[in-house]
């Protein structure tokens, strides 16, 4: 049985006070949602306060990116060990906004994945195609290239301790969601790609869908055989929307 995970990627939003309101609402909702692994991803300055607001309620805290370097003269960067030190459990690597706006390459994403795991963090590896790539029939080629770069760098065994998020770039923040069938097709293809290396790891790894997940489309997405939850951006900023999305996971 794979875990069902609903993760909130807060991106560069929020303030100390707004985050506290949102976290307080999540803490109150947590006991009824014990069958869902919830993870929130605030920006770096708020990781410590988020961790303490969530103490003991079972909701995990992760960071939105991490340096591929262990330490040194890398002004502005944050290492995986530092994230562990402030009790982060997860980190997003390869989000499409990092890939497109900050020019992160597949090789760099693979290095971040490795750095995260070496420090004991669970990487949430994001993959996904642009609209042009989908229209050109290149969805699988793009997603497989993103996946293969990491498999080649870290080996399939490392996928026993990661989460994958399929996030079609055209669905992120646009209100356009992949249909459950479109998403399921890619999730299944990802699992088959992993199964070429290890059937047992392929069956074990949680693959989340991301891209305009909302309270009204979450249950249909989560009902698909290979969709193990969601990576939620915009809707995770509204506590009640996020809680409703978590409630869409069947017990």
Using the minimum distance from each CB to ligand PGA, give the nearer residue, 201 or 205.
205
Q: Shortest CA distance to 149 belongs to which of 96, 199, 102, 94?
A: 94
Of 78-86, 102-110, 156-164, 232-240, which part binds ligand PGA (CB under 6 A)?
232-240
Should residue 213 be labelled a site residue for ligand PGA when binding is judged by CB under 6 A?
yes
* Closest C-alpha to 251, from 226, 212, 219, 210: 219
Q: Indicate if 250 belongs to the active site.
A: no
Question: Between residues 191 and 214, which has the closer beta carbon with respect to ligand PGA?
Answer: 214
Which window, 49-57, 60-68, 143-151, 167-175, contacts ligand PGA (CB under 6 A)? 167-175
Given 95, 129, 133, 187, the catalytic residue? 95
Q: How far apart are CA 120 and CA 208, in angstroms?
A: 21
DSSP states of 59-77: -EEEES---SSSSSS-TT-
Q: By C-beta, is 13 or 197 nearer to ligand PGA?
A: 13
Is residue 90 flagged as an active site residue? Answer: no
- Give Cα separations from 215 to 142, 160, 239 (angstroms): 29, 30, 11
Q: Is 129 in the site for ligand PGA (CB under 6 A)?
A: no
Gyration radius (Cα) of the chain, Å:
17
Nearest to 167 by CA among 221, 88, 113: 221
Beta pairing class for 122-127 and 229-232: unpaired
Q: Is 124 left (phi over 0), alpha (psi -120 to 50) or beta?
A: beta
CB of 173 to ligand PGA, least distance (A): 4
Q: Give the range of 69-77, 147-155, 199-207, 211-219 binding ligand PGA by CB under 6 A.
A: 211-219
Residue 167 interacts with ligand PGA (CB under 6 A): yes or no: yes
Residue 211 within binding range of ligand PGA, rule CB under 6 A: yes
Confirm if 103 and 96 have CB atoms less than 8 A apart.
no
Specify the pairing of strand 90-93 against strand 60-63.
Answer: parallel
Binding of ligand PGA at residue 210 (CB under 6 A)?
yes
| Closer CB to ligand PGA, 29 or 233, in the complex | 233
Among 47, 119, 190, 231, binds ligand PGA (CB under 6 A): 231
Q: Which residues are marked as active site?
A: 95, 167
What are the residues binding ligand PGA (CB under 6 A)?
9, 167, 172-173, 210-213, 231-235
């Amino acid at each position: 049985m794979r875990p069902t995970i609903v993760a909130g990627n807060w991106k560069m939003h929020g303030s100390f006070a707004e985050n506290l309101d949102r976290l307080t609402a999540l803490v109150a909702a947590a006991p009824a949602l014990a069958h869902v692994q919830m993870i929130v991803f605030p920006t770096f300055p708020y990781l410590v306060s988020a961790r303490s607001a969530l103490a003991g309620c079972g909701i995990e805290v992760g960071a939105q990116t991490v340096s591929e370097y262990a330490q040194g003269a890398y002004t502005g960067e944050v290492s995986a060990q530092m994230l562990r030190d402030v009790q982060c459990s997860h980190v997003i690597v390869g989000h499409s906004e990092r890939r497109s706006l900050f020019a992160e390459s597949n090789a760099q994403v693979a290095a971040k994945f490795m750095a995260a795991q070496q420090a004991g963090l669970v990487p949430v590896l994001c993959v996904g195609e642009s609209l042009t790539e989908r229209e050109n029939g290149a969805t699988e080629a793009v997603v497989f290239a993103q996946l293969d770069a990491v498999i080649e760098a870290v080996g399939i065994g490392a996928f026993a301790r990661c989460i994958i998020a399929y996030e079609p770039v055209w669905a992120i923040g646009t209100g356009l969601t992949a249909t459950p069938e479109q998403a399921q097709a890619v999730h299944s293809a990802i699992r088959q790609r992993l199964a070429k290396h290890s059937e047992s790891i392929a069956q074990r790894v949680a693959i989340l869908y991301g891209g305009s997940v909302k309270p009204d489309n979450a249950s249909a997405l989560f009902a698909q055989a290979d969709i193990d939850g969601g990576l939620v951006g915009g809707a995770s900023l509204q506590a009640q929307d996020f809680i409703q999305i978590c409630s869409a996971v069947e017990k």
